[in-house]
Amino acid sequence: MTSVSYPSAQAVFYQQYETVRRDEVVGVLLALFLGTFGVHHFYLRRTGLGILYCVFFWTGVPTLLGFIECFFMPGRVREFNAIQAAGIAAALGIAMPGFGPPVNVTVNMAPGTAPAPAAGFAASPAMGLAAPGAGSAAAPPAGTLVTCPRCQRGNPAGSRFCGGCGQALS
């Protein structure tokens, strides 16, 4: 029996992503030089708009719109790539690589102190700036994580539900 090594799901993700991703510079150049014919819309698989531009290219309106759209193309290409990446990750049943859980950032402050509210705003318990001794004594300190009893995932202090499994946190 021969052993065949299968690539990891992340390697398959990147392989498939590289075949469908689009380049921002190409999108801008297509909108700038061939925007009259709607080629930049065909590039992003917006076939209906591409056909519309082809039908009305003789009016000059698509030329003006193509010039204006060249400034919006980097964002549209990034959005297209993000949608493609999410689709591939969902098909493989994995989380999108590079998009992990949020990182807990702790701020170095003296114990028992809270940041001062901005000018014109009063400290309120809703903002977590209540005076020491006020409010519930069961609230954990600001820089700590609350562990979910079901999935053992760390959640920010003050969270009512687990970000991983949705379990109510006490």
State the pLDDT at residue 135. 46
pTM as predicted: 0.56
Angle among Cα 19, 25, 29 to the nearest 5 degrees reads 115
What are the pLDDT digits (tens) for 49-104?
Answer: 999 999 999 999 999 999 999 999 999 999 999 999 999 988 888 887 766 555 55
Count other Cβ atoms within 10 Å, centred on residue 33: 14
The dihedral over CA atoms of 36, 39, 42, 44, expressed in degrees to the nearest 10, equals -100
Residue type, 20: V
